Structure 1
């Protein structure tokens, strides 16, 4: 029991328990308790600011910045800061009403090292062609605004970004074409479907090669109205490899991924299987992870497959799979037991990733192992060399030299060209600009949306695009006809060495470059 007569209690009663002191004590208590409580309530009731920049935000449950921006924002990827800044500065010089917009749709925030390099090079190529369109094309109109559209890791956020693009077809953006769309995945296929069917946008694929992300001559095969591509299909790549290598099917086998739903792999293994009709060996199978950029356990499988390959008479191995598994397979075959035998690996354009892959065992390339792939472009393809003249048709040194000039004018920093990504992106942008300007009526500031997507059947003959990767002559379905396919070899030091140009039709196109009737 408290003693009111205790000296301490008498002091408190006299000095602290007066009405005024009790009032101030109460106020102090409210401040001590109320301020944090108010801050907490405000924090709980105020929505989190997930904006990254104009047009870009972090989706729920993700730290990636997803959306569309042309102001120089690099989506928090340091490697993209310089090129994004150049694009932003170029866009800042344009006035509303004088330009049409082209979006580059890519997984800009992919954590995969190979994809990061690919994205950087594609943006560099696209920007070089934007710069040419605005400064080196005799003041042709409309001018071109370039925006970056991020679909996130593995294109997982494609829907939100595509919906944003669909809302940009009017003023002030006047979005008229989308390029990029660079991976042959289910997500990209869905994005292309939405862009073409729902928005009526023209789409120009850079490095999509899957046969089923394309239109065709059969009934109901106009699945993506307004889609054009500057790269050959997997079937064309396989045909070009077959014409180049003249492989003996009796001494060849196929190593293929069993994971389905990957349009690149699915169509590549079908194309290779067609080339290997009559081969004596059944395919050797592996199953990649759901995310094929992950290592998984496939390296163990490849170690076993190399033993089985040594048991065959095979000399040529066709590989149908993505670049991570390709690298694992090369490393395993380089350490094979039958080291005295020579092997050649033939694969699709995913081989272009390997030049910059630090996990590739370059010793494997010196162990009687030759790795060749069907590239989409190469800086030496249209350069004459002793014993290797430039083909008279299908492309030109002049077009490639123009590309080199544009790259140098656009950016003082050197651009890596060996993987072909910047070259192909430049050509895709050139094709988009060509269609936009061809569709613009005399006296108009920009074309109607629907008119751009209908231009592809006329991109042929004398109206072809003089691409840095070769002539771009489109058939009535937007597919490149008999497009040049550089065959590239991984040299012993890991560099990507040009071997020769191969052609899906067996030889270069005629001067007219008019696709034959199909179907």
Structure 2
């Protein structure tokens, strides 16, 4: 038989069926591969975390406003119990009977110290929500609490603000944003945006003078509708130095350069109180993200050498910096050469973060070194021999009673509780102020207040009947929304790992009068 060439085989169709099958298999494989790839892409692009919360492009953070009926803790196990308690309370509210308050804090922070504060503020806010809904003699509206996360460093503040703005209409009826947290540039921008949209803001732990109204400048009230529970840095510095009775020429200043809103205003406040000092202020330059270590530990080692070179009569160091840098400075002072000389470091409320700081060398506090700071609140402030005005033991006991109830159902559990850093107390007071403003703004015959009317209540929060009797002290606001002559606990870090209450101090040098009416300025 004659041999056939390949061309003959093809022409005669001998390979025709196998070729068609081969092409079909190739096509099917391509379709399956494409389908698998598409599923993977779609799964990868599904960046939702929970209702109202998602991951922005190129970010692993879940940011936004958690609006779902179920609890969402932003992946932070320490927040779970408090978040579940809030979800239970929100679930029992009937549509049309409530307004929403958002607690805006950096829930995705990776700093254990920051997360302690967030946990405690969240617990305090929930307790105030529960109290408002159950122990207010039927006052309305009821309060729904949601969590708003602008990101660990506030990078996505605009994204959260846009969501909050949409929530002011419809069934959410958002009427206030509380919390905010640290006095940072990102938070400053978020507060500016919120108040421009006429959304009232209640700052819990912000103390910076330039994140406040009534501080002068071209626009005396750049944040219309902002109220604060904490004193300004200037008021804290006034209270601290009056307590310490600084002797002229016996103190020096160490400060953050170029500074941020908190450190800069604290530096200016301290500098104004240091006239006559023999020494120029000494700067240090931290990383832009002041939660990072950077190389400032080297600078502090050098500064402590200079501290030892000062006149023996110099015994007080005013520190204007964030808590990470404060911890580095304390550790450096613990290794200073002049261990025989006693020094006292005076600083602002950022030092409260060090209450639970594991990397702080507490042994340094056993070697002629004291660290005193202005706390936003302290559980011992109203327990023993409280002053006749400015706050009361009864007001703090109300919070204590709630905390006892929160150890079990139906109020709790809310997770492990700590009070000596002041954050739970100040979170509780901030939300109580929000509730006060909301309910005072309700017009006769209306179920909920108009959004713009809530912020108009702040100038009237004063006097014997309209002030808020906070667990941290009386909250009597001036016409700019700042607390007048607010109680400032002076607290000392201890080698044992706690914050010991020393004494109450006052920006005006003494507690406010019974009427708690700010004088003309």
Q: Normalised by the shorter chain, which TM-score bucket?
A: over 0.9
Offset of residue 223 of structure 1: 0.7
Matches within 5 A, 1:453-468: 453-462=455-464, 463-468=466-471
> Match for residue 183 of structure 2?
184
Aligned match of 2:408: none
Q: CA RMSD in A?
A: 2.0
* Counterpart for residue 498 of structure 2: 495
TM-score by length of 1: 0.94
For these two proteins, the number of residue pairs brought into alignment is 504
2:21 partner SS: helix
Partner of 1:435: 437
Give a deviation string over 1:81-105, Cα, whole Å, max 9, x none: 2211211121111122110110111
Deviations 1:449-472 (A, max 9, x none): 111010011100021000000000
2:395 aligns with 399
Alignment match, 1:216? 214
Find the residue that maps to 1:250 and give its secondary structure.
coil
The 3-state SS of whatever aligns with 2:249 is helix
Q: Is the 8 A contact 2:200 2:226 kept in 1?
A: yes
Q: Which residue number corresponds to residue 121 of structure 2?
A: 122
In 2, are the aligned partners of 1:473 and 1:513 still within 8 Å (CA)? yes
Output the TM-score relative to the length of structure 2: 0.93
Could you say what secondary structure the match of 2:210 adopts? Answer: coil
* 1:346 matched to 2:367: no
Query: 3-state DSSP class of the match of 2:436?
Result: helix
Q: CA–CA distance in 1 between the matches of 2:118 and 2:447? A: 31
Counterpart of 1:504?
A: 507
Q: CA deviation at 1:41?
A: 5.3
The structural deviation recorded for 1:245 is: 0.6
Aligned to 1:268, the other structure's residue is in SS state helix
Counterpart CA distance in 2 for 1:46 and 1:347 is 49
Asked if residue 452 in structure 1 is aligned to residue 454 in structure 2, the reply is yes
Q: Residue deviations 1:406-457, cap 9 Å, x none?
A: 2333323441111000100100000000000011123321101111010011
Q: Distance in 2 between matches of 1:303 and 1:473?
A: 43
**Does structure 2 retain, via aligned residues, the 8 Å contact 1:56–1:68?**
yes
Deviations 1:378-416 (A, max 9, x none): 0100101xxxx1111000000000011123333234411
Given that residues 125 and 407 in structure 1 are in contact (C-alpha distance below 8 angstroms), is that contact kept between their aligned partners in structure 2? no
For residue 202 of structure 2, give the secondary structure of its aligned residue in structure 1: strand
Moved more, 392-401 or 46-55: 46-55
Question: Partner residue of 1:478?
Answer: 481
CA distance in 2, matches of 1:79, 1:461: 39
Aligned twin of 1:202? 200
- Give the equivalent residue in structure 1 for 2:412: 411
Q: Distance in 1 between matches of 2:307 and 2:82?
A: 45
Query: Is contact 2:476–2:517 with CA below 8 Å preserved after alignment?
Result: yes
Mapped to 1, the partners of 2:249 and 2:400 lie a distance apart of 43
Greater shift, 88-97 or 127-136, is seen at 88-97
Shift of 1:491: 1.1
Aligned with 2:45: secondary structure? coil
Aligned to 2:51: 54
Match runs of 1:72-471 below 5 Å: 72-197=71-196, 199-216=197-214, 218=216, 220-260=219-259, 262-313=260-311, 314-384=314-384, 389-409=385-405, 410-412=411-413, 413-462=415-464, 463-471=466-474
| CA distance, structure 2, for counterparts of residue 42 and residue 367 of structure 1 | 63
CA distance in 2, matches of 1:351, 1:511: 31
Distance 2:97 2:510 in 1: 43
Q: 4+ residue runs of structure 1 moved beyond 6 angstroms?
A: 3-6
Alpha carbons of structure 1 residues 17 and 144: separation in structure 2 relative to 1, 3 Å:
farther
| 2:378–2:420 contact (8 Å) kept in structure 1 | yes
Are the aligned partners of 1:408 and 1:414 in contact in 2 as well (CA < 8 Å)? no
Q: Deviations over 1:243-297 (max 9, x none)?
A: 101011311100111123x100000000000111111111111101000000000
